[in-house]
Amino acid sequence: MILIYSASWKRIKIFSPASKENKTFNSIVVAVRNEEKNILQCLDHLAKQNYPSHLFEIIIANDFSQDNTQKMVESFIQSNKHITIKLVNLSEILKGNTGSKKRAIAEAVKQSKGELIVTTDADCIMNTNWLKSIADYYETHQPYMICGPVVFSENNLFDKIQSLEFMSLIGIGAAAIEARYPLMCNAANLAFKREIFFETGRADPKNEPSSGDDTFLMFAIRSKYNDKIAFLKSTDAIVTTQPQFFIKEFFNQRIRWISKVKNYSDHYVQLTGLLFFLFNIMLLFSGIASIFTKTFLDIFLTGLILKLLIDFIFMKQVAGFFKKQNLLLLFILAEVLHVFYLVIISVLVFSKKYEWKKRKIKA
């Protein structure tokens, strides 16, 4: 499967923003909850986009923030009246603290006027051609959904290991889209047609977990328009976000990500997740059993060497695109750690609640 993804990744052509005049109106949606440390930097990058100010708006969907996020956004709006910025407070729409990121995005889209909805997160930054690269790609190819590249910033060893693993997820997601079997996407860098959001019923989703606004939308679009989902392979389109600072936060995030798989109705996605889990649990237990018998040692070494070799072929390509080849020095360490944590988190998904923005959510 990874070899197939390697070939698919290579097939995706690099896209560069065009010099033509744009016509698409974009609504940039940012769902926020307790983001006083990040929101101003994000807004500053959004306000400086190399795109006509009359062709985009920024909508901040405030999901019951308990800090100074709302005041900071209001202050930024007053200081930047040359661009259109709207603040949507869920506390004024919903009764009680019953919000979620999914609901925040839905309410923001309802109040948007863009032909194209572009989502990112409060802890993200991007270069000045980010929005133009998305609009250019949309106007050139007319997809219904555009998935963009996301990368982590790095300050220490823990950050670098997370960054390497996260790049692999972005690469797999992109390659799966190219192979016409979409697996995942990331709301930190995502665009979709406004009308398709309502057509697929995403404005009022029911019987779904609180997270997964991005992936559930992808699967809803895939069920009708599989060939209209695209990955934007462009360095101008890269969004940089923050890794988790602590182990507990890291596990909470991964539990949140993996927990969504059991709610997917797509059997291909479930089977892919099961294959990855079974392969890694095979490696873990054959490694432990190899202490007692050489038979399991042969199984462990064969599986591990094949995994390292095939994964490295794939990761070398993806790291090259992101210009982060230096992270490959940590490749073997990251691969070994990945075997342990994936098995642990896969088990915790069925028995643990995770915390997100001071909310306890059942996995």
Chain CA centroid to CA 172, Å: 12
What is the model's pLDDT at position 360?
61
What is the model's pLDDT at position 97?
64
Nearest to 268 by CA among 181, 209, 349: 181
How many Å apart are CA 12 and CA 16, to the nearest integer?
13
Provide the residue ranges of all domains of the chain, joining segments of one domain with +: 2-257, 267-358
Per-residue pLDDT of the chain (363 residues; tens, 9 = 90+): 999 999 999 999 999 877 789 999 999 999 999 999 999 999 999 999 999 999 999 999 999 999 999 999 999 999 999 999 999 999 999 877 677 888 999 999 999 999 999 999 999 999 999 999 999 999 999 999 999 999 999 999 999 999 999 999 999 999 999 999 999 999 999 999 999 999 998 887 665 666 667 898 999 999 999 999 999 999 999 999 999 998 888 888 888 777 776 666 677 888 888 888 899 999 999 999 999 888 899 999 999 999 999 999 999 999 999 999 999 999 999 999 988 888 888 777 766 565 556 556 555
* Structure token pair of residue 226: 């599989």
pTM: 0.92
What is the model's pLDDT at position 343?
83
Kindly give, in sequence order, each residue whose CB lies less than 8 Å from that of residue 178, ignoring residues fewer than 6 positions away: 8, 9, 11, 12, 231
What is the model's pLDDT at position 355?
59
Nearest to 131 by CA among 142, 143, 123, 119: 119
What is the model's pLDDT at position 294?
87
What is the model's pLDDT at position 351?
61
Edge-to-edge strands of the sheet including 150-152? 125-126, 239-241, 150-152
Tell me if 120 sits within 8 A of 188, measured CB to CB.
Answer: yes
What is the model's pLDDT at position 190?
98
Nearest to 264 by CA among 218, 230, 319, 200: 218
Q: Which CATH superfamily is domain 2-257 in?
A: Spore Coat Polysaccharide Biosynthesis Protein SpsA; Chain A (3.90.550.10)
